[in-house]
Homo-oligomer: A and B are copies of this chain.
Amino acid sequence: MNKPVAATLDTGIKLVRNVGSFNFGRGAIADLAGHVESRRVSAKSTGADERVIFVIDQFFKGRSDILARLPRRHDDVVLIVDTTNEPTTAGIDSLVAEVRAVGVSVPATIVGFGGGITLDTAKAIANLLTNPGSAADYQGWDLVKNPAVHKIGVPTISGTGAEATRTCVMTNKATGLKLGMNSDFTVFNHLVLDPDLTATVPRDQYFFTGMDAYIHCIEALAGSYRNAVGDAYSHETINLCQKVFLGDDMMSDQSREDLMVASYLGGSAIATSYVGVVHPFSAGLSVVLGIHHCVANCITMRAMEEFYPEAFTEFWTAVDRQGVVVPEGVARSLTDEQYKSLYDSTVVHSKPLTNALGEDYKNTLTFDKVVELFKMM
């Protein structure tokens, strides 16, 4: 690991909102039914709506073996989330409209079942059902006024930490703003962390997504803005990721359990720390070339040796060890205009870049330097 810089500054982040509770371990999905049922019973006792909204990753469309394990009733609402692209404010608004169209205003609970996009979508819907207006109105910090609908998260892939964070990332296509609803109300009430659910994830996707937790934490620990809580979560997340990705089999039962814990702790770390150089470059790849966040992080790692030398070595050792193929050359032969866009959408991230390189980070990340780094990817 990279040595922490000698003098650290305080992140200024002083308040942590935890997920209410969680079930964990192999087969934990069996406990979902009890949690959902107790919500229905409680709704019934007050004359409220007993129906439940299931927000399900399109990955499971047609996977009747998996879907049969969800405690659905005939009158529940099922929303399938298209994960081709990351969530948009308009997309969230239309899902909320779909819920209202069938006459549900406040369901007994919302169950998010899937990857980071699906979990974030469930969180956003839960906020909007109890708050007026549209998703774009709540992009920012602490803009959500009313407590959200009760919600349960069931991650089916590990790494993003979406199950633990107080945000739900989405892009407003009209303004180009990519920003979540950062709010205490965005945090899940309950999680079901069942590593058996990640057994069918394609290997490359499993690696890319899992490494999101690792990369965030190596960035956080190498930064200037730090605090003891974020550092502790980051250290343990990295320990677990090393165990999983430098071990023999990243998808063994034990590894999938460890990575699910790493993802949860990494998500807890996110709430109190800042990223560094990787995420801004990765964001550039996402915005300009439409590459998904987790694979974009891994592609970015090709150019990170000078910033994170130890993590660079460790990361590429893990790639070799797990036999994963990270896409290469995606930003090698682009137009001048595209490089200009890449530069702009990278250096705009002043907070993480200041965290990593200091306030004069643009002296390091000149236009030519940024282009050179993208060409290394």
Contacts and interface: CB of A to CB of B under 8 A. Distances in A.
Interface in A6-63: 10, 14-25, 28, 31
Contact of A20 (B20, B254, B260): B20
Interface stretch (A97-105, A227-235, A300-308): A227-235
Contact of A31 (B14, B22, B232, B257): B14
A261 interface: yes
A296 B80 CA distance: 57
Contacts of A233: 236
A213 interface: no
A120 interface: no
Q: Give the oligomeric copy count.
A: 2
* Interface size class of chain A, counting residues whose CB lies under 8 Å from the partner chain: 20 to 34
B25 A21 contact: no
A262 B228 CA distance: 9
A184 interface: yes
Contacts of A10: 25
| Residue from A28, A229, A239, A265 whose CB has the most chain B CB atoms within 10 Å | A229
A227 B19 CA distance: 19
A347 interface: no
A249 to B, nearest CB: 16
A240 interface: yes
A18 B15 contact: no
Contacts of A25: 10, 14, 227-228
A235 B241 CA distance: 14
Contact of A229 (B14, B16, B239, B261): B261
A78 B24 CA distance: 40
A258 interface: yes
User: What does DSSP make chain A's interface, helix, strand, loop or mixed?
Assistant: helix
Contact of A15 (B15, B21, B232, B240): B21
Contacts of A184: 21
A228 B260 CA distance: 9
Contacts of A14: 23-25, 28, 31
| Residue from A17, A184, A262 whose CB has the most chain B CB atoms within 10 Å | A17
Contacts of A265: 232
Contacts of A15: 21-23, 31
A223 B228 CA distance: 28
Contacts of A228: 24-25, 254, 257-258, 260-261
A201 B232 CA distance: 24
Given A15-B22, A24-B229, 14 more contacts: A14-B25, A14-B28, A15-B23, A16-B24, A18-B18, A18-B19, A20-B20, A21-B184, A25-B227, A228-B258, A228-B261, A232-B236, A232-B240, A233-B236
Question: 8 nearest interchain CB pairs?
Answer: A18-B18, A236-B236, A228-B257, A17-B21, A228-B261, A232-B261, A232-B236, A14-B25
25 contacts: A10-B25, A14-B23, A14-B24, A14-B25, A15-B21, A15-B31, A16-B22, A16-B23, A16-B24, A17-B20, A17-B21, A18-B18, A18-B19, A18-B20, A21-B184, A24-B227, A24-B228, A228-B261, A232-B236, A232-B239, A232-B258, A232-B261, A232-B265, A236-B236, A236-B239
